[in-house]
Chain A
Amino acid sequence: MKILVIEDEPELREAIEISLKRENYRVETASDLESALIKIGSYRYDCILLDIMLPGGSGLKILDELKAQEIPGNVIIISAKDSLDDKIRGLELGADDYLAKPFHISELSARLKAVLRRKLSGGKTNLEAGNLCLDPANRTLQVAGRDVTLNRKEFDVLHYLILNQDRLVTRTALAEHVWGDHIDQADNFDFIYYQIKNLRRKLTDSGARVELQAVYGVGYKLTAT
Chain B
Amino acid sequence: MKLHNQALKYLSVSIFIIVSIWAAIFYINLMDEIHDSIDDSLERDKAVILKKLQEDPDFEQTLRAGIQAAFTESNFLIREISGESARAARDLYTDTVMYLLGEDDGEPFRMLTTAFTRGGKFYQLKVISSTVEEDDLIEDLFWAVFWLYIVLLISVAVINNFILKKLWKPFYSLLQQLKNFRIDRNDPLPDIQTNTREFLELKAASDALISHTLDVFSSQKQFTENAAHELQTPLAVMTGKLELTLERGKLDETDAETISQTLQMVNRLSKLNKALLLLSKIENRQFTDDQPIDLNALVKQTAADLEEFSSFKQVEVSVEDIASVGIKMDHTLAHMLVSNLLKNAIIHNVPGGSVRVILEEQLLTVRNTAAGDALPADQIFKRFYKDAPSAQSTGLGLSIVQAICKRYGFIVRYAFEKKEHHFSVRFN
Interface residues of A (CB under 8 A from B): 9, 11-12, 15-16, 18-19, 22, 53, 80-84, 100-106, 151-154, 167-168, 170, 172-173, 181-191, 194-195, 215-219
- The smallest beta-carbon distance between A89 and chain B, in angstroms, is 14
Are A195 and B308 within 8 A (Cβ)?
Answer: yes
- The smallest beta-carbon distance between A154 and chain B, in angstroms, is 8
- The smallest beta-carbon distance between B213 and chain A, in angstroms, is 20
20 residue pairs from A and B, CB less than 8 Å apart: A9-B236, A18-B244, A22-B247, A80-B233, A82-B232, A82-B277, A153-B309, A167-B247, A168-B246, A183-B271, A184-B344, A188-B392, A190-B312, A195-B308, A195-B312, A215-B246, A216-B257, A216-B260, A217-B256, A218-B260
Stretch at the interface among B54-62, B122-130, B356-364, B394-402: B394-402
Task: Determine the chain B residues whose CB is within 8 A of the CB of A100 once the complex forms.
Answer: 232
Task: Determine the chain B residues whose CB is within 8 A of the CB of A152 once the complex forms.
Answer: 307-308
Are B244 and A81 within 8 A (Cβ)?
Answer: no
Q: Report the Cα distance A170→B232, complex, angstroms.
A: 19
Q: Would A12 and B240 be within 8 Å (CB), given that A80-B233, A188-B392, A218-B256 are in contact?
A: yes
Stretch at the interface among B79-87, B104-112, B143-151, B262-270: B262-270
Task: Determine the chain A residues whose CB is within 8 A of the CB of B307 once the complex forms.
Answer: 152
Whether a CB of chain A sits under 8 angstroms from the CB of B229 is yes
Are B260 and A184 within 8 A (Cβ)?
Answer: no
Q: Which of A11, A53, A168, A170 contacts B241 (CB 8 A)?
A: A11
Whether a CB of chain A sits under 8 angstroms from the CB of B239 is yes
Given pairs A183-B394, A215-B246, A217-B256, 9 additional interface contacts (CB within 8 A): A11-B237, A153-B309, A168-B247, A170-B263, A173-B243, A182-B343, A184-B344, A191-B308, A216-B260
Q: Report the Cα distance A191→B260, complex, angstroms.
A: 19
B215-228 vs A, CB cutoff 8 Å, 1 = contact: the mask equals 00000000001001
Are B260 and A81 within 8 A (Cβ)?
Answer: no
Whether a CB of chain A sits under 8 angstroms from the CB of B383 is no
> Which 7 A-B pairs give the minimum distances between C-beta atoms?
A15-B240, A102-B236, A218-B260, A216-B256, A80-B229, A80-B232, A102-B235
Q: Looking at chain A's contact residues, is the secondary structure mostly helix, strand, loop, or mixed?
A: mixed
Q: Would A170 and B243 be within 8 Å (CB), given that A80-B228, A217-B260 are in contact?
A: yes
Are B232 and A83 within 8 A (Cβ)?
Answer: no
Q: Report the Cα distance A109→B307, complex, angstroms.
A: 28
Task: Determine the chain B residues whose CB is within 8 A of the CB of A81 once the complex forms.
Answer: 225, 228-229
Q: Which of A11, A104, A182, A194 contacts B243 (CB 8 A)?
A: A104
Task: Determine the chain B residues whose CB is within 8 A of the CB of A168 once the complex forms.
Answer: 243, 246-247
Q: Report the Cα distance A16→B308, complex, angstroms.
A: 33
Are A189 and B251 within 8 A (Cβ)?
Answer: no
Q: Which of A15, A172, A215 contacts B264 (CB 8 A)?
A: A172
Interface residues of B (CB under 8 A from A): 225, 228-230, 232-233, 235-241, 243-244, 246-247, 251, 253, 256-257, 259-260, 263-264, 267, 270-271, 274-275, 277-278, 286-287, 289, 307-309, 312-313, 339-340, 343-344, 347, 390, 392-394, 396-397, 400
Task: Determine the chain B residues whose CB is within 8 A of the CB of A153 once the complex forms.
Answer: 308-309
Q: Looking at chain B's contact residues, is the secondary structure mostly helix, strand, loop, or mixed?
A: helix
B230, B247, B251, B286: most-surrounded residue (chain A CB, <10 A) = B247
B225 and chain A: residue at smallest CB distance? A81
Are A101 and B263 within 8 A (Cβ)?
Answer: no
Task: Determine the chain B residues whose CB is within 8 A of the CB of A102 once the complex forms.
Answer: 232-233, 235-236, 238-240, 270
Are A12 and B343 within 8 A (Cβ)?
Answer: no
Are B393 and A186 within 8 A (Cβ)?
Answer: yes
- The smallest beta-carbon distance between A113 and chain B, in angstroms, is 16
Are A12 and B236 within 8 A (Cβ)?
Answer: yes
Task: Determine the chain A residues whose CB is within 8 A of the CB of B236 once the complex forms.
Answer: 9, 12, 80, 101-103
Are A9 and B237 within 8 A (Cβ)?
Answer: yes
Q: Report the Cα distance A187→B308, complex, angstroms.
A: 13
- The smallest beta-carbon distance between B179 and chain A, in angstroms, is 26
Task: Determine the chain A residues whose CB is within 8 A of the CB of B230 once the complex forms.
Answer: 80
Q: Report the Cα distance A12→B347, complex, angstroms.
A: 35
A85 and chain B: residue at smallest CB distance? B286
- The smallest beta-carbon distance between A99 and chain B, in angstroms, is 10
Are B392 and A105 within 8 A (Cβ)?
Answer: no
Are A101 and B232 within 8 A (Cβ)?
Answer: yes
A218 and chain B: residue at smallest CB distance? B260
Task: Determine the chain B residues whose CB is within 8 A of the CB of A22 once the complex forms.
Answer: 247
Q: Report the Cα distance A151→B307, complex, angstroms.
A: 10
Are A191 and B396 within 8 A (Cβ)?
Answer: no
